[in-house]
A and B are shown apart, each in its own frame.
Chain A
Amino acid sequence: MKWMKAVLPPVVFGVVAIALWELIVTAGRIAPFILPAPSAIWEQFLEQRQNIWEAALASGANALIGLVGGTVVGVLAAMVSSRFRPLADVSIPFAAVLNALPIIALAPILNNMFESTSSIPRRLVAGIIVFFPVFINTLRGLREVDPIHQELMHTYAASGWTFAVKVRLPGSLPHVFTGLRQASSLAVIAAVVAEYFGGLQNGLGSRITSAAAFTAYPRAWAFVVGACLLGLVFYLTTLLLERLAMPWRTRLIA
């Protein structure tokens, strides 16, 4: 019953939207190079599913490595920064500023700094993009310790290390996951968009552009659907991980 209530509206909305789209395209006789019909996209999706799968694996691997790398570095950096107050004071505004930069534009430079024949540049782009939300949120979490907890641990004569492990880390988990949730779909987008600037042609991004260059929009959109699914998988996996890691929080979307 409750489940139905949560699932029904979006499903109905989606079905109606797709039906409307199909109707507009067929009734308005809109050429596929302007807006492909959902049915045509679906057809291509089925036809290209092998290609989509392989491309999604390639892009997904890049996104995953970027995500994991960026998260690990972000969390470690946040832990180091939280140990030294001045460092945290400096790094928060600095990271916030860097986060406002169009990082994706670094792709061509990274391609030159590393090599365009490896996947490192796009993984780096994904990693850097992941780094900021994770770092900023984790640091915030690490710094926000309930003063009562602090006093309690003091009365238990707990050492700094014990305090970090038993209080700071678990206390910052919700923040880490807040960052991760944002980062997860960003990582996929970054990995896909970075392909735009050259490099190996094995991912969704290059498939999309090459299909689009041939005006094969239904095919391009089939790959786009693949990219959306990939992003969704990342996002939902993060949500699942969040639930597993924090059984004391039952809400799915904060």
Chain B
Amino acid sequence: GTADQDSATPAPGGSGGALTPVKLQLQWFFQAQFAGYIAAVDQGFYKDQGLDVQLLEGGVDIVPQTVLAQGKADYAVAWVPKALASREQGAGITDVGQIFGRSGTYQVAWKDSGITKAADLKGKKVGNWGFGNEFELFAGMTKAGLDPGKDVTLVQQQFDMQALLKKEIDAAQAMSYNEYAQLLEAKNPATGKLYTADDFSIIDWKTEGSSMLQDAVWANTEKLSDPAYQQQTVKFLTATIQGWAFCRDNAEKCRDLVVAKGSKLGKSHQLWQMNETSKLIWPAPAGIGVVDEAAWKQTVDISMTTKNQTGDSVLTKAPEGMAYTNDYINQAITAAKAAGVDVNGTSFAPTEVTLTEGGA
């Protein structure tokens, strides 16, 4: 792999009606966070567009945008700040569909700890995941006047939430759709019942003003100059929109699809996740996947100014070139609308999901 990748783009429908193989690199294990893609595969939305989509699972050290830049995948799902960092390192990628309009990152603390906002974290043991998932937290603390390197003790969380449950750390990073649910699936030894939302307080970075854009579909910048790839991107995005719309309307069906895909977390957990994920997408006033200027700018600003514990920021300069484009998502939205898909989800109403022990 070299910086100037020029691996051949599969010609769509090259051999009369045959499906074009497309690989999508996800950023983590199969779970409802990626339900839209899973559903689009299962429901044949991609197939209808002439695409044979293969979903590549992520891992701890898998950097989806790198996989994409190397030409091992045709598209990748990645958080915006991390992808921008890779761009700065020479990965030629472009955000072509900002699927999640909102951030789902929380900092969760025990209710009785009195932590309700970023400033309260001063002097506390603050959990985070590292791996580049920590910048909203750092930005929030910086905004509140704290120095993340000095004013708090940073602890890398494990892949479970035991550290918070055992009160080893005062506040833990949690995605609204995943780790937060794990807390609510754990039994309180004192009462013998599950913990409830009342036991915890949540710092939501959206309200703290330090949220950054998360899951987006990234495409290979260079290949985007190829009309065939352009077409394929629109088709891919169209089917993706269909998939997410399907999951918005058929949460339980999508949960089953995810579980069938081999997710190790249980059914109620995935339903919760489906519900919470939908909340991050819908309603989408400008249409699903359209990059919002203001949110983008906030993401870039934070990426350039927030320093982590070693004094590094995500970006050293403003992104150059085509970091994002709404061209293809807008075409896809038009196509989806024409097919009768609700691309705004104005009427979306989240449901109340009851979690069971262990998310079973």
Contact = CB atoms under 8 A, between A and B. Distances in A.
> Do the two chains touch directly in the complex (Cβ atoms below 8 Å apart)?
yes
Interface of A: 28-34, 48, 51, 108, 111-112, 115-117, 195-202, 206-207, 209-217, 219
Interface string B147-188: 000000111111110110010110000000000000000000
A21 B129 CA distance: 33
Contacts, number: 120
26 contacts: A29-B4, A30-B3, A33-B63, A33-B90, A34-B66, A108-B158, A111-B158, A111-B163, A115-B163, A117-B125, A117-B155, A117-B168, A117-B169, A195-B156, A196-B60, A198-B155, A198-B163, A200-B155, A209-B61, A210-B134, A213-B131, A213-B133, A214-B82, A215-B85, A215-B86, A215-B91
B168 A198 contact: no
A178 to B, nearest CB: 34
B132 interface: yes
Given A31-B69, A215-B86, A200 B2 contact: no
A223 B359 CA distance: 39
A29 B310 contact: no
Given A116-B155, A195-B156, A215-B63, 7 more contacts: A31-B90, A111-B158, A112-B158, A209-B61, A211-B312, A215-B82, A216-B85
A156 B65 CA distance: 75
B254 interface: no
Contact of A213 (B2, B63, B310): B63
A206 B130 contact: yes
Interface of B: 1-4, 60-61, 63, 65-66, 69-70, 82, 85-86, 89-91, 125, 128, 130-134, 153-160, 162-163, 166, 168-169, 308-312, 314
Pick the 6 closest A-B CB pairs, nearest first.
Answer: A198-B158, A213-B132, A31-B3, A215-B86, A213-B131, A31-B90
B173 to A, nearest CB: 11
Main secondary structure of the interface of B (DSSP, over half): loop
Contacts of A195: 156
A93 B4 CA distance: 55
Nearest to A55: B310
Given A115-B166, A200-B156, A215-B66, A210 B82 contact: no
A199 B3 contact: no
A196 B129 CA distance: 10
B89 A31 contact: yes
Given A117-B169, A201-B156, A215-B66, A33 B311 contact: no
Nearest to A199: B156
Given A32-B90, A111-B158, A214-B82, A116 B163 contact: yes
Contact of A214 (B3, B85, B90): B85
A202 B152 CA distance: 12
Contacts of B132: 210, 213-214
A51 B163 contact: no
Nearest to B125: A117
A51 B168 contact: no
Contacts of A200: 153-156
A28 B63 contact: no
Given A30-B3, A116-B169, A216 B158 contact: no
Contacts of B310: 48, 51, 207
Contacts of B168: 115-117
A15 to B, nearest CB: 25
Contacts of B160: 108, 112
Contacts of A112: 158, 160, 162, 166
Contacts of B60: 196, 209
Nearest to B164: A116
Nearest to B65: A215
The listed residue with most A CB atoms (<10 A of its CB), out of B63, B69, B89, B153, is: B89
